[in-house]
Structure 1
Amino acid sequence: MLAQSLFFNNRSGLRLHYLRWGEPDGIPVLLLHGLRAYAQTWEALAAALGPGYCCYALDQRGRGLSDWAEWSSYRTEVYVDDLEDLVAHLGFGRFVLVGHSLGGANALEYARRNPGRLLALVIEDIGPGSSSSGDGAERIRREMRETPLWFADWAEAEAFWRTSRPGLSAEALVSRLAHSMQAGEQGVTWRHDQQGIAEARLNIEPTDLWPAVRAIDCPTLFIRGGRSDFLSPATLAALREANSNIATAEIVNASHYVHDDQGAAFNRLVTGYLDEQTGRQLQESGEKA
């Protein structure tokens, strides 16, 4: 399935890029990538969901083909402003929202700020406290401090990914090289605003996600990687206790980057969940897909 590449301007005039897979009459699914990822990371999920859905993946500000911005704007409330602008641009009624890591935090805050808008919510490997404490949070802060801005050549860039993400599938490695990196005057560099993203991650206090979790008003699935250092089993249990709309699942042999490490299992899980939940939601409300 080929993606259509599209742009829109947000409320402050920033030009943001998104991809669309499928026909507009399908159930709308909006996909939000993680901290240093990009819209194309969701290509396999869009294909797995198939023709009943229309998938939209946003390059969040500072990533992919979207404009860069001041690093101080790389924070949850501004990302959610951008998301609200895209939803308005697309003219959505109710829709499905999926987010990984940073995108998951933004998805949760969107749900809190916009009750009644979502058919279902899927959150990949993030929960309250994930970004502020624990081994995963420290690992990401260390990566932000130590990640180089330039690599001598593509071989060095590939070696970086193999070392920092040893669980990446071959397909995910190819995708990261193609869509998160580019050739430049000094060798190979990032497509995203690595320096600005690092400044923001190291200096802006992560958003407390418990209010958003408690406010969830739609069927919601939290997915944990079985080897994740970012979302703990204890937090999964606490999420289920906090809100009866929440279900949880783990995928074995996956790190924090579940859809990269175990893409086929992740796609089966999400597709099955959304097929069940969106069908039931639409039937109960009398809406059309």
Structure 2
Amino acid sequence: MRKAFLAEDGTRLAYRDEGAGLPVLALAGMTRDGRDFEYLACHLPADIRLIRLDSRGRGASAWADWHSYTVAQEARDALALLDHLGLDRVAVVGTSRGGLLGMVMAAFAKARLTGLCLVDCGPVLERAGLQRIGDYVGVVPPVATLEQAADRLAASPGFLKVPTERWAEEAARRYVQLEGRLGLPYDPALRQSFDAALAAPTADAWPLFDACAGLPLALIRAANSDVLSAEAATGMARRRPDLIRVDVPDRGHVPFLDEPQSLRTIAAWLDAVRAFAASQPAATAP
């Protein structure tokens, strides 16, 4: 069941908050929402409190001025959710853009984190992969039904050995069935924000990655990713020898997170997060 709160600019943001125990905040990709983590949710141990945010303009959250669809603003929204829930610290699982939000949070509010798991995301992203994503942001596929959309998704680059029913589930998450046509479960104006970001000079994001120093850190990379290269992942591991890393076979951008390799990596990372959280001093009352 979704709940909601108001961001600093009054935008209504939706989230799910399920379970009890160690809080884990899940942040989805550019055009996605908290439903992306349903595959993972059913595999998490009983001591995990999973919080899934629909970033502004996505899922059940309200649409906003497209200029506010930025990594910086969405990271502030995530921190505002922690304040709303009265949480001092959380571990973050971030897929694609969600991972960028996690790195920004580590850079500017590190004390609020107990760990970060990056899913097919890092400080260096391949322009060809980003341009491919740009080809579909804000674009409704030229088909009339979710079944037809599922058939198109089955040809997603880099994905192999995916059951047909999984693409049907994905179609229902990525599109909305309307009368005789499909719609999008997000604000089409995200396209304007994406285009503006892609046209801007490329910033050095390694300082954001380095800001994660001391936090339990994991990387789940799709072996066939066109967004995060093997070279970039190796560079991340070189800077963080303790990085818990896996390349998930037969997956493109992004893995579903219920693959055995993904689940083992998340389990190892959660063990590290528990140990880290237990070592931190308790927050003091104001």
Q: Judge conservation of contact 1:152–1:187 (CA < 8 Å) in 2.
A: yes
Distance, in Å, in 2 between the alignment partners of 1:241 and 1:272 is 19
Say which is worse superposed, 151-160 or 8-17, in terms of deviation. Answer: 151-160
2:25 counterpart (23, 30, 33): 30
Number of aligned residue pairs: give it.
277
Q: Judge conservation of contact 1:100–1:123 (CA < 8 Å) in 2.
A: yes
Shift of 1:149: 6.1
Match of 2:14 in 1: 17
TM-score for the superposition, normalised by structure 1: 0.86
Change (3 A) 1:134 1:169: farther
Shift of 1:214: 1.3
Q: Judge conservation of contact 2:237–2:243 (CA < 8 Å) in 1.
A: yes
Give CA deviations for 1:109-142 in whole Å, capped at 9, x if unaligned: 1111102221111000111230xx4431232223
* Cα-Cα RMSD: 2.4
Q: Judge conservation of contact 1:225–1:258 (CA < 8 Å) in 2.
A: yes
Distance, in Å, in 2 between the alignment partners of 1:180 and 1:248 is 28
Q: Judge conservation of contact 2:93–2:117 (CA < 8 Å) in 1.
A: yes
Shift of 1:268: 2.8
Distance, in Å, in 2 between the alignment partners of 1:149 and 1:255 is 20
Match of 1:198 in 2: 191
Match of 2:171 in 1: 177
Shift of 1:159: 2.9
Letter of the 2:75 counterpart: V
Match of 1:213 in 2: 209
Change (3 A) 1:198 1:30: same
Match of 2:228 in 1: 231
Match of 1:57 in 2: 52
Q: Judge conservation of contact 1:150–1:190 (CA < 8 Å) in 2.
A: no
Match of 1:129 in 2: 124
Match of 2:181 in 1: 187
Change (3 A) 1:6 1:137: same
Give CA deviations for 1:179-211 in whole Å, capped at 9, x if unaligned: 332233452211111x21222111223654211
Q: Judge conservation of contact 1:99–1:122 (CA < 8 Å) in 2.
A: yes
Match of 1:159 in 2: 151
Change (3 A) 1:181 1:117: same
Letter of the 2:147 counterpart: A
Percentage of identical aligned residues: 25
Match of 1:78 in 2: 73
Match of 2:265 in 1: 269
Give CA deviations for 1:122-171 in whole Å, capped at 9, x if unaligned: 000111230xx4431232223338x3366423333223322346545545
Distance, in Å, in 1 between the alignment partners of 2:101 and 2:61 is 17
Change (3 A) 1:252 1:55: same
Paired residue secondary structure (1:258): coil
Match of 1:257 in 2: 254
Say which is worse superposed, 178-187 or 208-217, in terms of deviation. Answer: 178-187
Give CA deviations for 1:31-67 in whole Å, capped at 9, x if unaligned: 0011121211112222212211100011111111111
Distance, in Å, in 1 between the alignment partners of 2:82 and 2:203 is 22
Distance, in Å, in 2 between the alignment partners of 1:7 and 1:172 is 29
The runs of 5 or more residues in structure 2 that have no matched partner are none
Q: Is residue 137 of structure 2 the alignment partner of residue 144 of structure 1? A: yes
The runs of 5 or more residues in structure 1 that have no matched partner are none
Paired residue secondary structure (1:259): coil
Q: Is residue 11 of structure 2 the alignment partner of residue 5 of structure 1? A: no
Distance, in Å, in 1 between the alignment partners of 2:278 and 2:77 is 30
Change (3 A) 1:55 1:74: same
Higher-helix-fraction structure: 1
Structure-to-structure mapping, 1:91-110, within 5 angstroms? 91-110=86-105
Shift of 1:12: 0.9
